[in-house]
Amino acid sequence: MTEEDKDVKTIRCTQCAAEFSDAEAEGITRCPKCGDPSVPMLISDDVTVKVNWHELHVLCVFAENWARKVDEDMKDDSPIKHLLNIMCIAERLQRQHPDKAPLTLFSEIRQLRKDVAESDDMSGVKIVTDIDSDDKLGL
């Protein structure tokens, strides 16, 4: 490894997207920035994929729901915040196309709450769900 190679970022945190070189990542078991203990991604695995937004929405919603169930079932037995990881991934995807509809139910409900609050026609409408609760993210 040359001195230049030591500074090349090779891995990225799945949760916060912080990037680290091999030298920076050596021996660590959690992201130094956010503390996430889940497996990081190899930056060399970045790809461009043609996908329909609806397909991506379906994948994100199913991943979101499964992650929510796993977090609820495991409660405090796992240091990994699965739903938060899925939401962070979906958020990075969403930022690539901010004009498109939300990719997760969490984000759809948040958008709906905002739309209702800003609409005179929907005054009195109450949205009853905890799908978009920050508590579910383990924050």
Q: Which residues sit at the interface with Zn ion, rule CB under 5 A? A: 13, 15-16, 18, 31, 33-34, 36
Distance in Å, CB of 41 to Zn ion, minimum: 11
Identify which of residues 60 and 80 has a Cβ nearer to Zn ion in the complex. Answer: 80
The encoded tokens of residue 81 equal: 């915040």
Smallest separation (angstroms) from Zn ion to the CB of 18: 5
Cα 38 from Cα 9, distance rounded (Å) = 18
Q: Find the shortest distance in angstroms from Cβ 25 to Zn ion.
A: 11
Give one DSSP letter per residue of 4-59, joined into a string. TGGGSEEEE-TTT--EEEHHHHTT-SS-TTT---SPPEEGGG-------HHHHHHH
Q: Using the minimum distance from each CB to Zn ion, give the nearer residue, 16 or 56.
A: 16
Nearer to Zn ion, 15 or 61 (CB): 15
